[in-house]
């Protein structure tokens, strides 16, 4: 059998990057830490009751019902009563930052994959690899390049949460009815206009499902990132496991469940509400040549003459 020193090669590459790209990693670490601290300070400086009221208000705005905001307020008051408030805000800050970055990276890649087959062919094995890779493996390169602390947790969480945004964005755009796209092109729409006004609105349910999955994966990874000093609820759970403290472990796990349910319901409700608004506005758009303007009527006549 041939003995391939793959581990030696990987170690050499990591050492090379750590020596020659140290400034890049240091700058990225400083930027990430500053953003996390800014989000955390924005959450922790107001009184906890004010933050809970704002979170409940977001729930009411998303659902337009009275019961979900009440349950959200009760859940966060329970977290406050268990003395888990600061740890919860630390985890929430990491989840928000990682989710925003993952969505900002994943959605454009998904759009490119839906519009270009070459991009789709190139990223498919990468996404398969990322989604089959064990969760703990994501922490290894992050720790190698950024050390122990919050930064490797944010980096690992961001990378781990990207695939759903890419896949569901691509799926949503590819499932748009081609007849609708062809009709938009026939009316003289440019590719960017077709994407902005036709494909993205019709693919929004799938894209919002991807956003929801990104947030859920980010929250699950934040807990695991507590093993490398990520802080927050992950550190609470890890300490409880190491000390065999059943009470602390249950409280940390309960806080994670409350935050997960809150984020899941709020994002799903905002996505469903946006879809309903677009559907109500859809009949007001011009859907026939008689309702179109003079320029559009001339374009329809030219297409019919051809």
**165 within 8 A of 182, measured Cβ to Cβ:** no
Domain annotation covers residue 302: no
Q: What is the pLDDT of residues 185-243, one digit of tens each?
A: 787 778 788 888 888 888 888 888 888 888 888 888 877 877 777 777 777 887 887 88
Residue 23 C-beta-side C-alpha neighbours within 13 Å: 1
Task: Collect all residues with Cβ–Cβ distance below 8 Å to 281 and sequence separation of at least 6.
Answer: none
Both tokens of 285, joined, read 């758009």
Size (the chain), residues: 306
Nearest to 106 by CA among 220, 219, 217: 217
- Averaged confidence pLDDT in the chain: 80
Domain annotation covers residue 296: no
More confident residue, 274 or 97: 97
Q: What is the pLDDT of residues 175-192, one digit of tens each?
A: 888 888 778 778 777 878
pLDDT of residue 283 exceeding 60: no
**3-class DSSP state of 35:** helix
Domain annotation covers residue 293: no
Domain tally, the chain:
1
Q: How many CB atoms lie within 10 A of CB 218?
A: 28
Domain that holds residue 144: 28-281
Q: What is the pLDDT of residues 19-64, one digit of tens each?
A: 888 888 888 888 988 998 999 899 888 888 998 999 988 888 888 8
Q: What pTM, to 2 d.p., does this model score?
A: 0.81
Domain harbouring 36, CATH code: 1.10.3720.10
Domain annotation covers residue 299: no
User: What's the pLDDT score for residue 105?
Assistant: 92
**3-class DSSP state of 82:** coil
Distance CA 194, CA 203 (A): 12
User: What's the pLDDT score for residue 77?
Assistant: 92
Domain annotation covers residue 164: yes
Residue 185 C-beta-side C-alpha neighbours within 13 Å: 9
Distance CA 226, CA 36 (A): 15
Domain annotation covers residue 301: no
Q: Where are the beta strands (DSSP E) in the chain?
A: none
Q: What is the pLDDT of residues 131-166, one digit of tens each?
A: 888 877 778 878 888 878 888 888 888 888 899 999
């Amino acid at each position: 059998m041939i003995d391939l020193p793959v581990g030696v090669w990987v170690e050499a590459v990591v050492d090379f990057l750590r020596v020659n790209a140290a400034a890049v990693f240091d700058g990225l670490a400083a930027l990430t830490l500053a953003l996390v601290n800014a989000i955390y300070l924005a959450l922790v400086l107001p009184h906890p009751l004010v933050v809970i009221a704002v979170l409940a208000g977001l729930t009411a705005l998303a659902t337009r019902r009275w019961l979900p905001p009440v349950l959200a307020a009760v859940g966060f008051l329970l977290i406050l009563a268990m003395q888990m408030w600061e740890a919860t805000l630390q985890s929430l800050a990491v989840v928000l930052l990682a989710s925003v970055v993952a969505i900002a990276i994943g959605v454009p890649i998904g759009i490119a994959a839906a519009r270009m087959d070459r991009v789709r062919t190139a990223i498919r094995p990468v996404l398969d690899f990322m989604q089959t890779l064990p969760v703990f493996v994501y922490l290894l390169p992050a720790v190698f390049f950024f050390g122990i602390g919050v930064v490797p947790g944010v980096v690992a969480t961001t990378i781990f949460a990207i695939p759903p945004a890419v896949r569901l964005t691509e799926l949503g755009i590819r499932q748009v009815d081609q007849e609708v796209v062809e009709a938009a092109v026939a009316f003289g729409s440019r590719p960017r206009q077709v994407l902005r006004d036709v494909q993205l609105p019709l693919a929004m349910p799938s894209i919002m499902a991807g956003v929801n999955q990104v947030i859920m994966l980010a929250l699950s990874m934040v807990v695991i990132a507590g093993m490398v000093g990520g802080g927050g609820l992950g550190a609470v759970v890890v300490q409880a496991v190491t000390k065999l403290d059943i009470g602390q472990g249950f409280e940390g796990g309960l806080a994670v469940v409350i935050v997960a349910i809150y984020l899941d319901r709020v994002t799903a409700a905002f996505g469903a509400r946006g879809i309903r608004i677009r559907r109500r506005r859809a009949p007001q758009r011009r859907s026939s040549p008689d309702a179109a303007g003079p320029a559009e009527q001339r374009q329809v006549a030219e297409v019919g003459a051809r």
